[in-house]
Structure formats: C-alpha cells, structure tokens
Amino acid sequence: MLSKFLSSIDGIWIYPVISLLIFIGLFIVIVIRLLRTDKKLLNRLARLPFENETNEKPNSGM
C-alpha cells in the first residue's frame, strides 16, 4: 500500500538519487581524508589505549 502511494507522487524518484549522491560524496571525502592523514598521528592515536599513564582519578564509589 505504501509503495502504491509513493509511486503516485510525481518527482519522488529524485530523493533516493540525491541521498545516494550525498552518501557517495561523503564516503569519498572520508576516504581521501583518511589517506591524507599523517601516519605518525594515526600510530600515536592507535597506541593511546595501551599507555599506562592516566590522568583519571580512581572511582571513589559515589
């Protein structure tokens, strides 16, 4: 029933096309930015969870 209602609307086909173009555009931008990111920065960020130094205070139980 919903598909019959949506198919009766003139110009509705443009919305999925626009959505796909926006998705592809953002995907390309993210991939390009990832490839251009400094590898030293990525390695430093990857090691962060394994570093022993922490600035957090222990949980006081509150």
Is 58 within the bounds of a domain? no
Residue 26 counted as domain residue: yes
Report yes or no on 21 lying in a domain: yes
pTM of the model: 0.59
Q: How many domains does the chain have?
A: 1
How many angstroms separate the CA atoms of 28 and 12, rounded? 26
pLDDT digits (tens, 9 = 90+) for 5-36: 778 888 888 999 999 999 999 999 999 999 99
By the 10 Å C-beta count (0-12 exposed, 13-18 middle, 19+ buried), 52 is classed as exposed
**Residue 23: inside a domain:** yes
pLDDT in tens, 46-55: 999 888 766 6
The pLDDT mean for the chain works out to: 86
